[in-house]
Amino acid sequence: MATSNALVIAGAGLAGAKAAETLRAEGFDGPLVLLGDENERPYERPPLSKGYLMGRSEREKVYVHPARWYEEHDVDLRLGTAVTALDPAAHELTLADGSRQGYAKLLLATGATPRPLPVPGAELDGVLLLRRLGDSDLIKETFRTAQQIVVVGGGWIGLETTAAARAAGVAVTVVETAELPLLQVLGREVAQVFADLHTDHGVAFRYGAEIAEITGTLGHADGVRLTDGTQIPADAVIIGIGVAPNSKLAEDAGLEVDNGVRVDAQLRSSHPDVHAAGDVANAFHPFLGTHIRVEHWANALHQPQAAARAMLGQDVAYDRLPYFFTDQYDLGMEYTGYVAPGGYDRVVFRGDTARREFIAFWLSGDRVLAGMNVNIWDVVEPIRALVTSGRTVDTARLADPGVPLADLVA
């Protein structure tokens, strides 16, 4: 068994890699082990549904560090190494090959897994999920030969994949159970913007619809049948109905699990020597005053840096506001803040929604909870200041592009 003074990170994605980088940058010079169940070194996921999927960025650019970085920083990177059990009392992990790895402190950065669609035919060839680099490669190859596809789910992954398919000239039908894409995430007012965007680019939507079966010929998907009996032909079916946190390791070990590994503001779990960060962590947010689990890139980038410092005994708390971005067709946007489903009173728009050049603000009373800038840039910091100030705002001035955002918190 490895030396018990090792710091161990389970999960070699962006979160795990950034934690390892921070531990070394903060002066930890002891044994550092990074365990990943994939055979790829740590990479970032946004390109998988954006630039890399569309062929606009090279494969090498998806990786967090150059291949030599891990050896140069004395990080024991073990790929193709799944963790099968955790014993917090013994400070020990069991690996898939039966070996054991001891630790002084452990970071769980095990991420999340796409939710499968529980219908007949989901096992057919041509039914695709997007989470890993190889998935993006397969979908990209599918776009080269497919004429029409069905995307199940109108969330961020579904819509980004749809935009990539349309850019490749593939016809797309999106099947969504809600009345609009992104309805639960953005609310009706802003969800309509994305619905119109995709409709303008030739996407067909089936709202309020559910899949009864994925049909196939000779073992390969050839379409879907909806619960109302409608048949939609397709050369491939892409499932994008969300992800589930990979928290079984923690749950089996007796750690507190509730929509992910439940951790405090220091990213510490119910066992003091086990931390969690990234998609798997349901963390207490000091500013928001509640636990939230964030599945976006910025969280996987920044949260493990705080966790690493906490593992070293530093007095830190992760209070960065959630942030995410998307690029679809000619629309680029950034979102800053947090709004629970149904947790806002109204949306105030600044700019031109018809031209898709605007900022949307979600308000509770006269206080800004979140802001989303669409094709307007360099405003994230003032939006963040508006949210974190907690001040009430004059909504007429908020909607007026002639009033600098900074003046609203001055």
What's the pLDDT at 2? 44
pTM over 0.85: yes
* Distance between CA atoms of residues 49 and 159, nearest Å: 9
- Quick one: tokens of 146? 């497919």
* Distance between CA atoms of residues 246 and 266, nearest Å: 20
What's the pLDDT at 341? 85
Taking a C-beta distance cutoff of 8 angstroms, is the pair 129, 116 a contact? yes
What's the pLDDT at 82? 97
What's the pLDDT at 267? 98
* Distance between CA atoms of residues 167 and 126, nearest Å: 20
What's the pLDDT at 342? 86
What's the pLDDT at 409? 87
The dihedral formed by the CA atoms of 122, 231, 240 and 377, expressed in degrees to the nearest 10:
160
> Secondary structure of 309-354 in the HEC alphabet?
HHHCCCCCCCCCCCEEEEEECCEEEEEEECCCCCCCCEEEEEEECC
What's the pLDDT at 294? 96
What are the per-10-residue average pLDDT scores of the chain (410 residues)?
Answer: 80 98 98 98 96 93 97 98 98 97 98 97 98 96 97 97 97 98 94 97 98 98 98 98 97 98 98 98 97 96 98 97 96 96 94 96 97 97 96 96 92
What would the pLDDT profile of 176-215 be if each residue is shown by its tens digit?
A: 999 999 999 999 999 999 999 999 999 999 999 999 999 9
Please give the mean pLDDT across all residues of the chain.
96
